[in-house]
Structure 1
Amino acid sequence: MSEPIRVVVTGAAGQIAYSLLYMIAKGDVFGPNQPLILHLLDIPPMMGVLEGVVMELADCALPLLRGVVPTADPAEAFKGVVAAFLVGAMPRKQGMERKDLLSANVKIFKVQGEALDKHADKNVKVLVVGNPANTNALICSRFAPSIPRENFTAMTRLDQNRAQAQIAARVNVPVANVNNIVIWGNHSSTQFPDGSHGQVKMDSGKTVSVREAVGDDAWLRSIFVETVQKRGAAVINARKMSSAMSAAKAAGDHMKDWFHGTPAGQFVSMGVVSDGSYGTPKDVVFSFPVVIKNKKWEIVKNLQIDDFGRKMLDITGKELEEERGEALAIIGA
C-alpha cells in the first residue's frame, strides 16, 4: 500500500457526491491499492447533512479510506489535496437557462480557485462538475495562477457516456464495444456529439466505424446529436432533479483516466483550456478528444472535420466566448 493521498469533493452533502464518494472511497477511481483521505466541503447550512454522510462512509467500513475531513472552510478543504472534484454549485432547476447559473457560480469558483492556489498541492488535478462547468473551470484557473492551467478541466465525460450508450443501443452491442465518440465544445445544449471518428466492435468480433455500424448518417446528425444535447433536460423533466448517479460515474471515469491513462488507440473527451486546435477560440475551456499518459492529457490532432462539424464547432465556440465575457464582467476582470 502506498501513502494516502488527499482528495477533495465539494458540494459533498449533495446528490452527485452521494454516489461519487462511495466510488472514490472504495477504489474505483484511484485504484484498489491507493489509500486516501477524503476532504468534504459544503456550505454551513449543510453541515448537519454532511455529518450523516460522514457516518455512512464510516459504516461502509472501506479499507482504503484512512480519514474524512468534513468542513465549510475552503482553506481546510483544499489543504494538500492532489485531486479536486468541484461538484458544488447552484443547481440547475426546471426551466432554468444555463446563463441564470453564471452569476452565483462564478463567484463560488473564484473563491475556490483562490483556496486551491494557496492550499492545494501545486500539481493538483482539478475537475469541475458544477455548471456551467466549462466557464467555471476557466474562472477557477484564473484565480489559481500558481497551478498549471492544464490542471483545470471540465466534465464532458457524462455527455460522452450518454453518446456511447445511444450508439450501443442503436446497433445493439454492449456499451463497452463503442469507443472514440467525441464531445466537442461546451457541456450545454450547443455541444457537438460526434460519432464520425468512433468505432464499434460488432458481435462478429469485427471492428467497424460507427458510421458503418449505424448505416444512417441522417440519424447521426439529427436524432443522435439532439438526444445527447438534451439528455440533461430530459432527466430533469423525469426526475425533477438533475443527473446525479450518471454524473458521479462520469466524474469518476474522467479522473480515473487522468490518473491512469487512456487505453492504446482510444481517446476520451475532456473540457480543457483551448490552444485554438481545430479552429476553436483560444482561452476558453473547450471539450476536445484527448489521450492521456503519465497524468498529462494531449489533444488528438488531425481528425477530419466536415462542413456539418465545422458549423457545430463554431456554434458551441461562440457560446463559450459569450459565457467567458459574461463571467469576466461579473467578477470585474
Structure 2
Amino acid sequence: MSTGTRGKATSRDVAKLAGVAQSTVSYYMNGSRPVSNDARARIERAMATLDYHPNSSARTLRTQRTNLITLIERLDYSSDASDVAPYLTSIIEEAYRQGYDVILNTTKADPDSLRRMDGRNICDGFILMDIKQHDERIPVAAQIGLPTVVFGKTDDDHGLDVIYFDYESAGVVIADYLAGFGHGAVLFLDEEPSETSEYILFPSMYATLRERCAGHGMSFDVMAFDRDHVQSAMDAVCEHIPDRLAVITRQPRATKDCMDALARRNLKPGRDLTLISICPDSKIDSFDVHPSNLSQRPREISMQAVHMLIDRIEHPNRPQQVVAVRSDHVTTRDTTVDFRGANAPAV
C-alpha cells in the first residue's frame, strides 16, 4: 500500500486499510465520539500493520503546556475588518484572562500552515475561523490531534469541537419580527447571495427566511449587493416599496453602503422602508442613523470558543461539544417602520 508523503503513513492510510471513514479514525484517536468494537479492532490492526503512530508533538504539548493558542482566520486586502474585529478582540482578551496568549495567523490559513505550526510545538491548541462547507483544514486538524475548536459550521467536523452562530434561527426571528410590524415584502441584499455558497450557514438562512416569510404571507428574495449590483438592487427596492418593504443586510460595511445607496434614491429607512442589519450591537453607534439589528453576539460566542478550547486542553478525552449560539430578538432602533393598519406608503 502507498502511504503519505515521504513514505510515512497517515490517518488516511489507516482509514483505507481498515475500511472505515477517515473521520472514524479521528474519533478513535481523539476519543471525541464512540467507535464500535469492530471498527476499533480494524483500526488498531491497520495501525499496527502500517506502524502508524499519532503525532507525537501533539501528545507532548498536552503534558508540556505553552499557554499559547493559535487563532487561524483567513484575511486579505478585501476582508471587512469591522466584521472580524469584534471576534478577534474578544478571543484575545478572554484567552488572556484565562492565562493564555494568542498567536494570530492570517497570512496563509491553509492545511500546510497547520502542519508547520504543529511541527514547531508552539501552541496548545487551535481555533479555526472562517469555516467553509468543505474546509480542507478540518481533517488535517483532526489528524494532528491537537485540541481544536471549529468556529463555524461545516459538512464534516471530523469529531472536533464546534461552535457557530445559528443563522437559521436568526432567519426565523427576523421573519417573525417583520410580520409583526405588518410588512409585505422582504429583500435580503447580500454581497455573496448564492444559495450554493461555500459557507454553509448563509444558504440555510435564506431558505429559512423564504419559508418563514411565506408562512406569514410575505414575499422574500435575495439579491446581490456589491459594487457591480448596486443599481439593480436599488431598482428592486424601488419596485417593492409599495409592498411595505423590509431590507435585510449583513455586517456593518454592507449596511452603510445600503444606507448610502438608499439616500441617493431619496429613500429613508424608518420612513419609506424598514432596514434590518445583522451586525453586532457594538457597531450601532458608528451609524448616523441607528439601524434596527439582530446581533451575532460576537463577544459571547468568542468567549465560549476560548472556554471550549481550554476545557479540551485540560480534558482531552471528553466527548465532542457542538454549540449553536442564538439571538432571540431584533432590537428596534431608527430604521423600523410600523406598517400595521397602514396603507402602502406613497413613493
Q: So what's the TM-score if we normalise by structure 2?
A: 0.31
Larger radius of gyration: 2
Q: So what's the TM-score if we normalise by structure 1?
A: 0.32
